Amino acid sequence: MTTTRPAGASPLAPEWLSVPADPTRLDAKLWAEDVERGTDGVLRIDGVSVDSLAQEYGTPLFVVSERDFRTRASTFRDAFDEAFAELCGGVDVFYAGKSFLCTEVAHWVREEGLGLDTCSGGELAVALRAGLPGSRLGLHGNNKSAAEIVRAIDADLGRIVVDSIQEVTLVGDLAVQSGRTANVMLRLTPGVHASTHEFIATAHEDQKFGLSLTTDQGPGQDEDESDGTSSPAARAVADALAHPGINLLGVHCHIGSQIFEPEGFELAARRLLGFLAGVRDRHGVELPELDLGGGYGIAYTEADEPRPAAEIARAMAAVVGSTCRELGLAVPRISIEPGRAIVGPTTFTLYTAGTTKTVRVDAAADGSEVLEDTSVTHPRRYVSVDGGMSDNPRPVLYGADYSAVLASRTPDADPVLSRVVGKHCESGDIVVRDVYLPEDTGAGDLLAVPGTGAYCWVLASNYNYLTRPPVVAVANGVARLIVRGETEEDLFRRDVQREPASPGTAVPATDPGAPRTA
């Protein structure tokens, strides 16, 4: 089997991974706009060196470019407003808070004129604390509690995205009890199979989110005998329109995350607009809003080619405009929910390297497969860092790929195929599966992993009782803490301690594993 692996590359490396000709070069699409490497080889963000950041805040450390975040947020806002200006007067951009959220980031969202999409009571609390008005907030979730729904109703949220027929009744009844009306959108599953990992594809039928467009068929009933009104989505519309506690704004979908191909978004838009036309024909109502979700991909490696926001916006506007003309439907107000595409590239994680080792791996000579019985072996360098799956579980959850660079000096040795691993007691604790790093990378060196702004800190854990890292924002040449790192005392605050017992005191019989006396 002939491969397209670059000349000089390790047979163990994926075909897309090239051997860096210039080990000091940074691939611009992976990094915030104000990250650069100085003449001394040290990475800087808006002029602040990673050496100084590591010295002041320690590692692991999430480092965010505030300027880059604001630029990406305003770029989405302006690009979609321009593309949809003639169709519906612009677009409402809701930052997807689940990607990364803290009070300071919520302030940035508010100041850049975006709305904020939340999917729990905790995320909603952060948004409200940052002063976002309820009209610019949304609440998602497939299993919202009554308390979360009441909080959203009391805050007069701009939209509660309802995920099931049961929730239509629950939200409506709670609104009536509160003497209010709930603004509701219905989350639909348009049956689009997005090209992404199965765990983050969310618009196919066999998953937990949303109301299906597929008609339920009774015994002996052919599909063409149905009147088209018995799908869960259609029944939810009828229930919502009839409920006195609900103001039905429109429909919503989200086809998945980390998607590069445009076809899925376009197909979802067509199917949902067709559904809105059906609502008009059956109920005589043109629902005024359509949310097309988010999920736009970013670059994690050199192989990824994300689409610019303006290109995405123009393609979606073309589909929405033409489909509405075909259906004779007024163009609804469009909203989108980018999260990863805004925050992901703004951030890198800074680690300190520790132990290293080189192993020999059996592989076919052409790199086409790994063999168990062959005399041909190839080296792979393992570089351990002081974090791992507790601050970035995406590689173990989704098989996600990342990149890494030596951040604290100019490389002094040739690059070798390396694997950056964490310090946890798990063989799957991999931070970067395949990357070329200088062979002399070793203890005390700083490594930077770009693209960690989304779904890293928010998924962080205390596995092996590691403390979660701090988050530092850099702006105008100044670094400041926006999320404090945990300490061991923070961990103990949740650990209910036993009261000291006096010598000879009997241990309660409910603790059979303890000694008989203290």
Residue 494 domain-assigned (yes or no): no
Residue 71 domain-assigned (yes or no): no
Residue 244 is part of a domain; what is its CATH number?
3.20.20.10
C-alpha span between 399 and 335 (Å, rounded): 31
Residue 18 domain-assigned (yes or no): no
Over 60: is that where the pLDDT of 510 sits?
no
Residue 316 domain-assigned (yes or no): yes
In 3-state terms, the chain is what percent helix, strand and coil (to 5)? 30, 25, 45
C-alpha span between 284 and 487 (Å, rounded): 59
Regarding whether 284 and 145 lie in a shared domain, the answer is: yes
Regarding whether 383 and 307 lie in a shared domain, the answer is: no
Residue 419 is part of a domain; what is its CATH number?
2.40.37.10
Residue 139 domain-assigned (yes or no): yes
Regarding whether 297 and 315 lie in a shared domain, the answer is: yes
> Number of structural domains, the chain?
2
pLDDT of residue 370: 54
Structural domain harbouring 271: 90-215+230-338
Least confidently predicted of 162-166, 211-215, 439-443:
211-215
pLDDT of residue 190: 86
Which of residues 251 and 203 earns the better pLDDT score?
251
pLDDT of residue 202: 44
Average pLDDT (441-461) is 98
pLDDT of residue 366: 46
C-alpha span between 349 and 455 (Å, rounded): 12
Which of residues 397 and 371 earns the better pLDDT score?
397
C-alpha span between 109 and 95 (Å, rounded): 7
Residues sharing a CB contact under 8 Å with residue 512, sequence separation 6 or more, in sequence order:
none
Among candidate residues 119, 253, 324, 425, the one labeled active-site is 425
Residue 254 contacts residue 293 (beta carbons within 8 Å): yes
Regarding whether 237 and 104 lie in a shared domain, the answer is: yes
**Dmax of the chain from CA atoms?**
85
Regarding whether 309 and 177 lie in a shared domain, the answer is: yes
Regarding whether 253 and 375 lie in a shared domain, the answer is: no
Q: What are the pLDDT digits (tens) for 261-310? A: 778 888 899 999 999 999 999 999 999 999 999 999 999 999 999 999 99
C-alpha span between 466 and 412 (Å, rounded): 32
Model pTM?
0.90
Average pLDDT (327-345) is 97
- Kindly report the average pLDDT of the chain as a whole number: 90
425 annotated active-site = yes
Regarding whether 355 and 333 lie in a shared domain, the answer is: no
Collapsing DSSP to helix, strand or coil, 105 comes out as helix
Residue 477 domain-assigned (yes or no): yes
**Where among 317, 338, 359 does a domain terminate?**
338
pLDDT band per the 50, 70, 90 thresholds, residue 442 = very high
Collapsing DSSP to helix, strand or coil, 127 comes out as helix
Distances (CA, A) of 121 to 267, 431, 460: 32, 31, 19
Residue 42 domain-assigned (yes or no): yes
**Where among 285, 309, 338 does a domain terminate?**
338
Residues sharing a CB contact under 8 Å with residue 469, sequence separation 6 or more, in sequence order:
59, 60, 61, 62, 349, 387, 391, 457, 460, 485
Regarding whether 300 and 211 lie in a shared domain, the answer is: yes
Regarding whether 278 and 403 lie in a shared domain, the answer is: no
Dihedral sign from CA coordinates of 271, 276, 280, 283:
positive
Regarding whether 288 and 234 lie in a shared domain, the answer is: yes
Residue 26 domain-assigned (yes or no): no
Range 82-107 burial, b when 16+ CB lie within 10 A, else e: ebbeebbebbbbbbbbbbbbbebbbe
C-alpha span between 272 and 266 (Å, rounded): 10
Q: What are the pLDDT digits (tens) for 63-77? A: 999 999 999 999 999
Regarding whether 307 and 183 lie in a shared domain, the answer is: yes
Regarding whether 421 and 380 lie in a shared domain, the answer is: yes
C-alpha span between 31 and 450 (Å, rounded): 6
Q: Which of 337, 353, 247, 354 is nearest to 292 (CA)?
A: 337
pLDDT band per the 50, 70, 90 thresholds, residue 257 = confident
pLDDT of residue 203: 43
Burial of 308 (0-12, 13-18, 19+ CB in 10 A): exposed
**Where among 338, 367, 399 does a domain terminate?**
338
C-alpha span between 380 and 14 (Å, rounded): 13
